[in-house]
Amino acid sequence: AYGPTPTLVAAVGLGYAQGLQQAGVLPLVKHYPGLGSARYTDAKVYSIAESEIRRLAELMFPFSQAATTGTPGIIVGHAAVPALDEE
């Protein structure tokens, strides 16, 4: 929602989170590992179909930045990522 590239999403999202914290609000980032890229499948589950590890890493980059900069929390989405775990 914050931009077309992982770097921009991380920069804008973290800036927003820092502003919230300065105002006394605890920000949470959502939905790891990138629910916006998930699709509803025939099996009636949300699934991230990306098969390239590089693309998955790009989707997860903003969350990595949030974790390393001390964002108070990350909300985990309910999407399957078959490229990382077939179950």
Phi (first) and psi of residue 52, to 5 degrees? -85, 125
pTM: predicted TM-score of the whole model, two decimal places: 0.81
65 Cβ contact partners less than 8 Å away, ≥ 6 residues apart: 10, 14
Asked if the model's pLDDT at residue 73 lies above 90, the reply is: yes
- Predicted confidence band at 8 (pLDDT cuts at 50, 70, 90)? very high
Buried b / exposed e over 29-40, threshold 16 CB at 10 Å, is bebbbbbebbee
Averaged pLDDT for residues 41-62:
83
Confidence of residue 23 (pLDDT cuts 50, 70, 90): very high
